[in-house]
Amino acid sequence: MTRNVDPVGDEFDEVAIRGLADEQDVDLRESLAALSQLSMGHDGLASMLVHVAEFAVRAIPGADGVGVMVVHDDRPDTVVASAEFVRSVDAIQYGLGEGPCIEAAADAKTVVSGSLGDDRRWPRFGVSASKLGVHSVLSLPLLTSNGVIGALNVYAYQAETFDERAVTLGEWYALPAAISVQNAQKLDHARRVTGQLEAALTSRAVIDRAVGIVMSRSGCTPEEGFDALRAISQKENRKLSVVAVRVIDEAVRRARARRTEH
């Protein structure tokens, strides 16, 4: 079974979700509350996605485990899971290149199966999953205003586990989950860019210091000092920053040796 899911913007109707949760499931309400308070803090992207998966297990009736797949360049990128068996099942799915999560992300539709071993949509994946004792799956696309950014893969050992109510609750959970995942991606990207910039600035400062040492020894210009370091880098097939650190270390050792002599 597949169901279309309407994409949402960067915000969702919290009042509507809270009202639905009050009527249908306290677990969903609690999971949404935990999701709304979730931030990366000092953890990385993968750790946060694990929390999204764990909250989904609580929110969706019948779920035994959940995996979160994030799409990058139209391919599964970051894949995390709430339980070890989910990792095994997901590994089969992504290894074969067929399965409900891949279909949900590609078509932006909710995908459900209550008998994986007999499901003709993914014959190889379904049989393999059933051999591991997993018979039901609910795959939910993670939709934002920018399109599909991934999917939730909800698994159950029992057959025919995810009824209409479970699907509805899952879709309600997937809406804010998608926004949380998107925000986590943006923060992770910003952190990586900042880290790269800091590393580049540190590297440049080290190189400049090494150039200064070369200049003081030979009386050359800054350009000539830099060219000298680059020549060594190319000859030894080492990064320029590594060569610069070695020049600085040698200068420090010589300075200490001179002080010891006096």
Query: Three-state SS for 97?
Result: coil
Distance CA 233, CA 256 (A): 26
Point out which residues pair with 138 in neighbouring strands: 112, 154
Q: What is the pLDDT along the chain (262 residues), one digit of tens a residue?
A: 666 555 444 444 444 445 554 445 666 766 666 666 665 454 677 778 888 889 889 889 999 999 999 887 666 666 789 999 999 999 999 899 899 999 999 999 999 999 999 999 999 999 999 999 999 999 999 998 888 889 999 999 999 999 999 999 999 888 888 888 887 777 766 566 666 666 666 777 788 888 888 888 888 888 888 888 888 888 888 888 888 888 888 877 887 777 776 5
- Residue 38 backbone class (left: φ over 0; alpha: ψ -120 to 50; beta: rest): beta
Whole-angstrom CA distances from 78 to 70, 87, 180 are 5, 12, 15
Q: Is this model's pTM higher than 0.85 or not?
A: no
Question: What would the two tokens of residue 231 be?
Answer: 């020549």
Which residue blocks in the chain are alpha helix, DSSP H?
14-24, 26-36, 45-59, 84-96, 100-107, 123-131, 164-218, 222-236, 240-261
**Kindly report the CA angle at 209 between 203 and 211, in degrees rounded to 5?**
105
